[in-house]
């Protein structure tokens, strides 16, 4: 993620904000995320309005320590130049709460005090030093800052709109821009071209595996969870298959976790890969429950980044459409992806895995699927 779009402000300027409280909803390329405040205070001003876009690290709002600091936060958002040059308000003063209290008691003008703290913050010692110094010549009083405009009314967070139906005739001769999710998928697919991929395929008998699924389906077990568990158990014997090449291609990073990502098509186009974390260590019932929840929240764009970006092995399954076999594109940052329709087709990064190692993994997976009793524990 390099930038995000402001979807909804949950707080308005002047509202009290608690540490850890959600204050804004930000849309990334794959999810809508609630952003929490790291501090307690008062929301002084909003720098990026709803519908605006901010890069990672860019300030989108300013939080004041107290209501008395609101003017300072509002001046920060406007660059300290909200009034015409000939009637400019004094630059905002950053000071500790005790320094402000002490300045008021001693009658010291904080605007005339040099701040020795971080980022020019005025400390209590600075105030005491200013009090002890000879008085400076009086300066003409600056006009009072203009009252800020009342904050816009807050709007409730809206659920994602269902995709609208568009006829083929409506699309003829038009260019439709990609959604944020589709654009992210496009960039990842282009990035995958830099990976020296190769593929191996194997036919696997699924009689016992399908029988197990039919027996457990009434208990809430899903095919995705069952297959993810089978793949995870096979991966425990082949750590290279869930490792990844380093960015410079000069080494291999072995993962501590077997996190199985499964591709899910989104209603408005694009796809996302929710992750079943540590699938080798969990039972198929908890995996099934988690998968149902992940898919529901994925389609509502409510996944946290770790829930769709932490996969160490990916499964792409088109068997429900009657597809017999296909070549899956390898997501950057992983070493292998399994296309399932029993013929299974494994795509791997040749910098990390060689043909014999990929084939050995499929042999292990074949044993697990054809003898699936150990999937239930």
Residues with a known catalytic role: 350
- All residues at 6 or more sequence positions from 48 whose CB lies less than 8 Å from its CB, including other chains: 6, 54, 58, 60, 61
> Across-strand partners of 315?
262, 338
Q: Which residue has the tokens 């300066």?
A: 139
Kindly give, in sequence order, each residue whose CB lies less than 8 Å from that of residue 247, ignoring residues fewer than 6 positions away.
none
Sequence-separated (6 or more) residues with CB below 8 Å from residue 263: 271, 272, 273, 314, 315, 316, 317
Burial of 214 (0-12, 13-18, 19+ CB in 10 A): exposed
Bridge pairing between strands 61-64 and 41-46? antiparallel
* Range list of H helices, 78-115: 97-106
Other CB atoms closer than 10 Å to residue 31's CB: what's the count? 22
């Amino acid at each position: 993620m390099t930038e995000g779009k402001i979807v909804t402000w949950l707080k308005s300027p002047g509202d009290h904000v608690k540490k850890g409280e959600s204050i804004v909803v930000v849309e990334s390329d794959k999810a809508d995320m609630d952003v929490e405040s790291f501090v307690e205070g008062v929301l002084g001003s909003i720098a990026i309005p709803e519908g605006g876009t901010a890069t990672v690290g860019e300030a989108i709002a300013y939080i004041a320590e107290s209501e008395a600091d609101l003017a300072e936060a509002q001046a920060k958002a406007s660059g300290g130049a909200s009034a015409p040059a000939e009637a400019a308000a004094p630059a905002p003063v950053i000071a500790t709460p005790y320094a402000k209290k002490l300045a008021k008691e001693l009658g010291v003008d904080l605007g005339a005090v040099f701040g020795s703290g971080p980022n020019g913050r005025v400390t209590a010692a600075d105030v005491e030093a200013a009090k002890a110094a000879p008085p400076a010549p009086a300066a003409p009083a600056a006009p009072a800052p203009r009252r800020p405009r009342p904050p816009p009314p807050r709007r409730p967070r809206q659920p994602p709109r269902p995709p609208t139906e568009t006829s083929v005739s409506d699309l003829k001769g038009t260019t439709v821009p990609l959604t944020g999710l589709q654009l992210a998928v496009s960039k990842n697919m282009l990035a995958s071209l830099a990976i020296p991929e190769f593929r191996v395929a194997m036919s696997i008998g699924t009689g016992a595996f399908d029988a197990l699924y039919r027996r457990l389906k009434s208990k809430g077990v899903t095919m995705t969870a069952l297959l993810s568990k089978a793949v995870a158990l096979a991966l425990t014997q082949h750590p290279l298959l869930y490792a990844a090449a380093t960015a410079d291609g000069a080494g291999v990073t072995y993962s501590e976790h077997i996190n199985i990502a499964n591709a899910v098509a989104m209603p408005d186009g694009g796809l996302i890969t929710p992750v079943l974390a540590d699938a080798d260590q969990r039972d198929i019932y908890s995996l099934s429950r988690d998968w149902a929840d992940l898919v529901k929240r994925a389609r509502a764009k409510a996944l946290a980044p770790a829930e769709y970006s932490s996969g160490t092995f990916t499964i792409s399954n088109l068997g429900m459409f009657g597809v017999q076999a296909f070549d899956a594109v390898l997501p950057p940052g992983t070493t292998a992806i399994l296309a399932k329709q029993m013929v299974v087709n494994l795509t791997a990064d040749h910098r990390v895995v060689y043909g014999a190692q990929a084939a050995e993994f499929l042999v292990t997976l074949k044993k697990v699927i054809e003898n699936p009793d150990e999937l239930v524990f």
